[in-house]
Chains A and B, each alone.
Chain A
Amino acid sequence: MSRIDLDLAHSYKPNPQEDGDYALLPLKMSFEDGGAYALLGPSGCGKTTMLNIMSGLLVPSHGSVKFDGQDMTRATPQQRNIAQVFQFPVIYDTMTVAENLAFPLKNRKVPAHQIQARVGQIAEMLEMSHQLDMRAAGLSADQKQKISLGRGLVRPDVSAVLFDEPLTVIDPHLKWQLRRKLKQIHHELKLTLIYVTHDQVEALTFADQVVVMTRGKVVQMGTPEALFERPAHTFVGHFIGSPGMNFLPANVAEGALSVGGLGLSADRELPAGEIKLGIRPEYLRLVPVGAIGALPATVRQVQDIGTYLLVTCDVAGQTLKARLAPDATPPAVGDRVGLQVLGEHTCYYKNEELMA
């Protein structure tokens, strides 16, 4: 097990000229030993590129990869002693489940009795003990993916286990189970796990630290809570949460904050100029019209999502969404209401970056 330090950039083109030519813009980050990380971002944001650079399947065009301070930029996956699980199940058709699981150990000449013990342990964890002697090729897609996961976890001494959207092919109810399993395995085996996904629920439930990426750039690395409470970038606010964060353009002049021409009093110091307010739907409160510090709004839509009510309002030409408890009395469509946009949870953005 080891700590992984990245200080690199990657471009698939030979002579990158502008930002758009890079799959990964210059970045610097560290993955601590034994942590559970998630790389989260939309498709094409560079997360798989980053994963392949860490595993050694790809050599970065610029910069270096260090394992425990040792330069491993050009080392093979074998030398890095890394395990990786791919998006689609990869199994060896001619082998049984047990032989599949044993394959990485056998290739490394681990003694037979150790292999057997370890394969038994992993199969137990994945609840595949009864299938060990079956041909792997005959199993269903999610069983196959479980074998792939097992092969990733079977080596006890790996530097890290990398997952590249491993649950894409799995049924939703099994997804839950497997994710819990992975979390449990993380606690039991104390492996460094790095998990790539575009599904925020997956990332937030799995990882201690989530790395949010967009367009080849890491925009924030933090705990799920930090990503929710204090998104460092409007993209994070928008991408995390369901629905995402509300953004409201505002203006600061001579220390006074105004939204749509209406003055509000902020609870912190703000620099002058055009800014954006970021309010999570969870923290947007509906108050009677005319309440102090509330913006007048018109209710456009009320949706019952089951576990909460979603109220969509128009405020000064912007659309804001608020989440209410399911037992709250919802306003009617067309009602005039007040919206409390300022509070301790409100975030302030300038040029899309968090500033207060």
Chain B
Amino acid sequence: MSVTTKPVNQKAWFLILPVFICVAFSAILPLMTVVNYSVQDIISPERRVFVGTEWFAAVMRDEDLHAALWNQLKFSGAVLLVEIPLGIALALSMPAAGWKASATLVIVALSLLIPWNVVGTIWQIFGRADIGLMGATLQRLGIEYSYTGDALHAWLTVLLMDIWHWTPLVALLAYAGLRSIPDAYYHAARIDGASKFAVFRYIQLPKMRGVLMIAVLLRFMDSFMIYTEPFVLTGGGPGNATTFLSQYLTQKAVGQFDLGPAAAFSLIYFLIILLFCFVLYNWMQRLGQTEKEGGHD
């Protein structure tokens, strides 16, 4: 066998130029503006001072930010803990074929079609103690429910709203994973005398691993960046009970016009998300790897 050495052709660089320009305008340049802001103190459009990493240090020590981050982590954790199992359960109970399957799919997907701010408005009305179906019902049951007054109620309402809005996405993904399992597996399980739980544990769950990984990543990222719904529903209150990271950021950047700290925080926020996704992705890949130890097919 002879190794052919290709002639060096630098013209190829021109071919990636369009992509490079697109990426530059869509990602690199905006990101660099943020980086630029994060190292300056912008006193007025004409007067700016280079401050180095001062904003980063200040932001890292900010108590409010710590509270928002902790709130955010609890919220995203709760979202994953509830939505993933619930989505799987939903997918398992959906019919497999026929018009019922199509009808169920459409109904399940409905909430995904509603814009975020409308979802917030729906729940704002839904939770009202005087006219809202949920609020009024809870009142009648003797529970002093108020998402505007009680911090825990507000937090739970936002969580419930997210579950209502996004569990269908997990369900649809899980459903797609379930449908891709060949019948032979179910037949073999019946022949082997496997219980329903064993079928779930040893066939359905391992075969859904790929789509569930996507579901976990999507739900984590989306919930970590949640903004519109709590903004419409509670405005971040009461107090800071439902102030999540992005809302905190908006308050800084738009509300107080602290561009420097806001930019520094944006970058930290970005790195946090990147880090979490990296860890989650690698962890789930590893999980798959041990299952396919020495895999070669």
Q: Do A and B come from one complex?
A: yes
* 8 Å CB interface, A88-135 against B: 88, 90, 92-95, 103-104, 107-108, 134-135
A151 touches B207 (CB 8 A): no
Beta-carbon contact of B291 and A94 below 8 Å = yes
Query: Interface code A276-307, partner B: CB below 8 Å = 1, 0 otherwise?
Result: 00000000000000000000000000000000
Nearest neighbor of A161 in chain B, beta-carbon distance: B191
B206 in contact with A94 (CB, 8 Å): yes
**Inter-chain contact A57/B293, CB cutoff 8 Å:** no
Whether A135 touches B291, Cβ cut-off 8 Å, given contacts A90-B185, A107-B198, is yes
* Residues of chain B contacted by A95 (CB below 8 angstroms): 202
- The listed residue with most B CB atoms (<10 A of its CB), out of A90, A107, A139, A140, is A90
Is A90's CB under 8 angstroms from B184's CB? yes
CB < 8 Å neighbour of A78 from B190, B202, B291, B293:
B190
A265 at the interface (CB under 8 A from B): no
- The interface residues of chain B, by DSSP majority, are classed as helix
Alpha-carbon separation in the docked complex, A94 to B185 (Å): 14
Known pairs A93-B207, A93-B291; A88 contacts B190 (CB<8 A):
no
Among A79-87, A199-207, A216-224, the stretch that binds chain B is A79-87
Please tell me if the beta carbons of A93 and B206 are within 8 angstroms of each other in the complex.
yes
- B293 nearest CB across to chain A (Å): 5
A309 within 8 A of B: no
Find the residue from B185, B187, B191, B207 having the highest chain A CB count within 10 A. B191
User: Is the beta-carbon distance between A140 and B297 smaller than 8 angstroms?
Assistant: yes
Q: How far is the CA of A308 from the CA of B58 in the complex (A)?
A: 91
Contacts of A90 in B (CB 8 A): 184-185, 187-188
B194 contact from A93, A107, A137, Cβ within 8 A: A107
- In the assembled complex, the Cα of A86 lies from the Cα of B182 at a distance in Å of 11
B202 pairs with A92, CB closer than 8 A: yes
On chain A, the residues within 8 Å of B62 by CB distance are: none
Interface size on B, residues (CB 8 A): 24
Partner of A104, one of B192, B195, B296: B192
B 175-213 to A, binary, CB cutoff 8 A, 1 in contact else 0: 000000010110110111111001000110011000000
Number of A residues near B (Cβ < 8 Å) is 30
Cβ contact within 8 Å between A104 and B193:
yes
- What residues of chain A lie closer than 8 Å to B188, measured between beta carbons? 84, 86, 90, 148, 151
Interface presence of A184 (CB below 8 A): no
CA distance A139 to B293 in the complex (A): 9
A138-B296, A140-B297 known; A103+B291 contact, CB < 8 A: no
Q: Does B292 contact A (CB under 8 A)?
A: yes
B contact residues around A135 at 8 Å (CB)? 290-295
Could you say which residues of chain A place their CB within 8 Å of the CB of B291?
Answer: 93-94, 135, 137
Q: How far is the CA of A138 from the CA of B293 in the complex (A)?
A: 6
Tell me the bound Cα distance from A103 to B192 in angstroms.
Answer: 7
Residue on B nearest A143 in the bound complex, by CB: B297
Q: Are B190 and A77 interface neighbours, CB within 8 A?
A: yes
In the complex, which residues 139-156 of chain B have their Cβ closer than 8 Å to any Cβ of chain A?
none
Across the interface, name the chain A residue whose C-beta is closest to B295.
A138
Once the chains are docked, how many angstroms separate the CA of A148 from the CA of B296? 18
Q: Is the CB of B203 within 8 A of A92?
A: yes
Contacts of A185 in B (CB 8 A): none
| C-alpha gap A78/B202 in the complex (Å) | 18
Is the CB of A214 closer than 8 A to any CB of chain B? Answer: no
Min Cβ gap A182→B in Å is 17
A298–B294 Cα gap in the complex (Å)?
A: 61
Instruction: Please state if A137 and B295 are interface contacts (CB–CB under 8 Å).
Output: yes
Report B54 CB to chain A, min CB distance, Å.
51
- From 258 to 297 in chain B, residues with beta carbon under 8 angstroms from any chain A beta carbon are 290-297
Cβ-defined partner of A84 (8 Å) among B191, B195, B198, B297:
B191
Known contacts A88-B184, A90-B184, A90-B185; A140/B191 CB under 8 A: no
Q: Which residues of A contact B203 (CB under 8 A)?
A: 92
Per-residue CB contact flags for chain A residues 28-63 toward chain B (1 = under 8 Å, else 0) read 000000000000000000000000000101000000
Q: A138-B296, A141-B297 are in contact. Are A57 and B187 (CB under 8 A)?
A: yes
Beta-carbon contact of A107 and B294 below 8 Å: no
Q: Which of B184, B190, B290 contacts A87 (CB 8 A)?
A: B184
**Nearest Cβ on chain B to A272's Cβ, whole angstroms:** 52
Let me know if A70 is at the binding interface, CB within 8 A.
Answer: no
30 contacts across the A-B interface (CB closer than 8 A): A55-B191, A57-B191, A76-B190, A77-B193, A82-B191, A83-B191, A86-B184, A87-B184, A92-B203, A92-B206, A93-B206, A93-B207, A93-B292, A94-B206, A104-B191, A104-B192, A107-B192, A107-B193, A107-B198, A134-B294, A135-B290, A135-B292, A135-B293, A137-B291, A137-B292, A138-B292, A138-B294, A139-B297, A148-B188, A151-B188
Chain B positions within 8 Å of A, measured between CB atoms, are 182, 184-185, 187-188, 190-195, 198, 202-203, 206-207, 290-297
On A, residues with C-beta under 8 Å from B are 55, 57, 76-78, 82-84, 86-88, 90, 92-95, 103-104, 107-108, 134-135, 137-141, 148, 151-152
List the 5 shortest-distance A-B pairs measured between CB atoms, nearest first.
A90-B188, A107-B193, A104-B192, A138-B295, A138-B294
